[in-house]
């Protein structure tokens, strides 16, 4: 058995993979936050709660309705996304002309409500969710053992991120979105229904979070608190990357997940804080964020 820097390769690559998985969730969640922030100018504090809801909807589909993982992967983002649309229409839209801090406070309140309700019904101990049959087992790659499901999570996240990037940067709908981000009044004057676009954008961002939640369900147990701590790390990721660029959010998300995984190998004590420490360094050197435009 050869060793790399004194670490057995099994452990090293195992943690790198775990880091990439966390990185996938950071990337999808920070992508959603960035898209929502671009158009609505609010930070969606309920993003973590909506990620948790995605996992729970998948769990409920399986245990109450017998709907399998693959259907839930489509259904959960749809359901949570529709809930997001309703939240935007009836609550967030009322804050349109106010200081954007009120949006943060509103969504924080929503996160408390959602998390509290789920904790009341399901406790905080977490519920198991089986890996779907098709993705059980793993591949022996010679230098490491790759569980199929973990490989699938990283692959699926990457595809979703790239499709989102393509939609926003290369399609007509994305062009409307970017125009509305730049100047909503002028975009509306060109005959584009900006309020509808805003609502759908929020729904889409929320659906992304729910999608990440379904992906996470078989890896971590389904737990009412799973989103609360994650969202704070994602905030740090967003500060590091800056919210100006879609690709920036994706690269920062995966990159930081990787860094976190490597920290777990070489200096486990710092693994919970390493992203915050990187945030401090970035603030000192490049306050606008790695991919951010100076305000």
Partner 1 sequence: MADVLSVEAPAGAIALAETSRSTERLHRAIFIGLAAVLLVAPYLAYPVFVMKVMCFALFALAFNLLLGYGGLLSFGHAAYFGMSSYVCAYVAKNWGLTPELAILSGVLVSAVLGLAFGALAIRRQGIYFAMITLALAQMVFFFSLQAPKFTGGEDGIQAVPRGKLFGLIDLTGDRALYYVVAVIFMAGLLLIYRIIHSPFGQVCKAIRDNEPRAISLGYRANQYKLAVFVLSASLAGLAGATKAIVFQLASLTDVHWSMSGEVVLMTLVGGLGTVFGPIVGALVIVSMQNYLASLGAWVTVVQGVIFVVCVLLFREGIVGVIAKKIGRPL
Residues that bind partner 1 (CB under 8 A): 37, 42-43, 91, 94-95, 98, 100-102, 104-106, 108-117, 119-120, 228-229, 232-233, 235-236, 238-239, 269, 272-273, 276-277, 279-280, 283-284, 287-288, 295
CA nearest neighbour of 32 among 289, 227, 279: 227
Cα angle for residues 108, 29, 163 (degrees, 5° grid): 140
Q: CB-wise, 137 or 287, nearer to partner 1? A: 287
Distance CA 12, CA 3 (A): 10
Tokens at residue 79, please? 């359901």
Q: How far is the CB of 2 from partner 1 (least distance, A)?
A: 32
To partner 1, the closest distance from the beta carbon of 219 in angstroms equals: 21
| Nearest distance from C-beta of residue 125 to partner 1, angstroms | 13
Q: Shortest Cβ distance from residue 274 to partner 1 (Å)? A: 10
Least distance between partner 1 and beta carbon 238 (Å): 7
Cβ proximity to partner 1, 17 vs 46, nearer residue: 46
Structure tokens, 249: 């959010």
d(CA 271, CA 260): 6
Determine the Cα–Cα distance for residues 32 and 165; give it in Å rounded to an integer: 11
Nearest CA to 174 out of 189, 186, 163, 185 is that of 163
DSSP designation for 62: I
Distances 21 to 24, 26, 154, 177, 234 between C-alpha atoms, Å? 5, 9, 6, 29, 14
Q: Between 84 and 218, whose beta carbon lies closer to partner 1?
A: 84
When the beta carbons of 77 and 248 are compared against partner 1, the nearer one is 248
Q: What share of the chain is helix, strand, coil (3-state, %, to 5)?
A: 75, 5, 25
Residue 159 vs 281, nearer CB to partner 1: 281
- At its nearest, how many Å lie between partner 1 and the CB of residue 256? 12
- Report the residue number, 117 or 163, with the smaller CB distance to partner 1: 117
């Amino acid at each position: 058995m050869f060793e790399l820097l004194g670490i057995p390769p099994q452990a090293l690559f195992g943690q790198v993979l775990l880091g990439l998985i966390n990185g996938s969730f950071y990337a999808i969640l920070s992508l959603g936050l960035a898209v929502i922030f671009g158009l609505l100018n609010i930070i969606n504090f309920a993003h973590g709660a909506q990620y948790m809801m995605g996992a729970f909807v998948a769990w409920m589909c399986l245990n109450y309705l017998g709907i399998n993982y693959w259907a839930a992967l489509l259904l959960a983002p749809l359901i949570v996304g529709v809930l997001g649309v309703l939240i935007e229409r009836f609550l967030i839209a009322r804050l349109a002309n106010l200081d954007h801090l009120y949006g943060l406070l509103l969504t924080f309140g929503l996160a408390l409500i959602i998390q509290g309700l789920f904790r009341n019904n399901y406790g905080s101990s977490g519920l198991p969710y089986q890996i779907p049959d098709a993705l059980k087992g793993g591949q022996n790659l010679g230098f490491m053992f790759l569980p199929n499901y973990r490989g699938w999570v990283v692959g699926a996240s990457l595809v979703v991120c790239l499709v989102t990037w393509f939609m926003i940067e290369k399609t007509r709908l994305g062009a409307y979105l970017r125009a509305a981000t730049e100047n909503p009044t002028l975009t509306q004057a060109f005959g584009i229904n900006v309020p509808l676009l805003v609502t759908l954008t929020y729904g889409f961002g929320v659906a992304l979070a729910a999608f990440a939640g379904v992906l996470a369900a078989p890896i971590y147990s389904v737990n009412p608190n799973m989103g609360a701590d994650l969202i704070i790390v994602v905030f740090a990721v967003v500060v590091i990357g800056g919210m100006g660029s879609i690709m920036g959010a994706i690269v920062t998300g995966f990159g930081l997940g990787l860094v976190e995984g490597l920290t777990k190998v070489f200096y486990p004590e710092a693994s919970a804080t390493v992203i915050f420490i990187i945030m401090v360094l970035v603030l000192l050197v490049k306050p606008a964020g790695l991919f951010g435009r100076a305000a």
